[in-house]
Amino acid sequence: INHGPSAVTMNFTLSNPYSVVSRSVSCSTGTLEAKKDCIITIRFKPTVDGDQSQDFVIQDKKISLTGKGLTNG
């Protein structure tokens, strides 16, 4: 939910093994208006073993995504 008084910009660019698979209509343009909410579904689909991380940025807030790839597990 954008509790602020103005719209925020959202960057939906992620690289493998992360991808945005869906997002709600309220944020489909990359902008979330004030007092609106947004649901984003992010998929983690590793192709190599080991720890993997990436940042997802909403305005100036960084959300760290982390996962562990187990290709034979």
Q: Residue 36 in contact with residue 28, Cβ under 8 Å?
A: no
Residues whose CB falls within 8 Å of the CB of residue 10, separated by 6 or more in sequence, listed in order:
27, 30, 31, 32, 38, 57, 58, 59
In the 8-state DSSP scheme, what is residue 29?
A: T
This prediction's pTM: 0.77
pLDDT digits (tens, 9 = 90+) for 21-73: 999 988 888 889 999 999 999 999 998 999 999 998 887 888 899 999 987 76
The residue that leads in pLDDT, 28 or 18, is 18
The residues pairing with 57 across neighbouring beta strands, listed in sequence order, are: 62
Is the CB of residue 14 less than 8 Å from the CB of residue 41?
no
pLDDT of residue 59: 78
